[in-house]
Amino acid sequence: MNLEDIRSYLVQNKDNQDVREFVNGLNPVTIDRVKDFATVNDDGRNWLQSQKDSFFSSSLDTWKKNNLDEVVMGKVKELYPEETEEQKRIRLLEQKLEEAEKKEQRETLRNKALSLATEKELPTSLVDFFLGEDEEKTIANLAKLEDTFNPYIESKVEQRFKDTGRKFQKGSNGDNSIATDIAKQRNEQQQTSQNNAWG
């Protein structure tokens, strides 16, 4: 019996338990053989890397699930420690002070806007709708109101005069601004009613 006969016999009887045990005994699995397979053989290297990746991913997921919230909360507390009662009171007082300052600034701005509206003879009841973030924007808003309001009122009054067959006349202050006279009368009526309410 030569080597080829032995090989042929082993291939034909590869499913036989005795033959398998004999063949495995000729070339036993050792740590060195596994290391060689995992480092030299491309298939072995790829298989080992996939096992490492799978294990690492699973380990990372488990660690995140068990520890990440605690780590994050610890860092948040480190960066933003809880307020003491004194710090909380100071923060609330600062907020109240800021709100009071904003309210005072708004009231000052409103008073300036009322003064300007009265001077331009615009309806003061509309001033609150035209307050801006600062004096400059408020003045610009009131200028837009004036540019829109006066021509609109004048056109309505002129149309009313035409509808009744009367001639459109100049306003009492010497110009064609009927709207100005109407706004002035409205402001005076409002001021009188406010004075009566307080007086």
Q: Enter the tokens of residue 35.
A: 């290391």
Determine the pLDDT at residue 120: 81
At 8 the three-state DSSP class reads helix
Rounded to whole angstroms, how far apart are CA atoms 88 and 122? 46
At 198 the three-state DSSP class reads helix
- The 10s digit of each residue's pLDDT in 89-130 is 998 999 999 999 999 999 998 899 888 888 888 888 888 888
Spatial CA neighbour of 112 closest among 120, 60, 161: 120
Rounded to whole angstroms, how far apart are CA atoms 109 and 166? 42
Q: Enter the tokens of residue 56.
A: 């690492």
More confident residue, 164 or 196: 164
Task: Please classify residue 83 by burial: count the beta carbons closer than 10 Å to its beta carbon, then call 0-12 exposed, 13-18 middle and 19+ buried.
Answer: exposed
Instruction: Report domain extents, the chain.
Output: 3-78, 87-194
More confident residue, 196 or 4: 4
For helices 135-164 and 85-119, angle between their N-to-C axes, nearest 10 degrees:
40
Q: Enter the tokens of residue 161.
A: 């005069």
Give 176's pLDDT tier (boundaries 50, 70, 90): very low
Query: CB neighbours of 22 closer than 8 A, spacing ≥ 6?
Result: none
CB 19 within 8 A of CB 13: yes
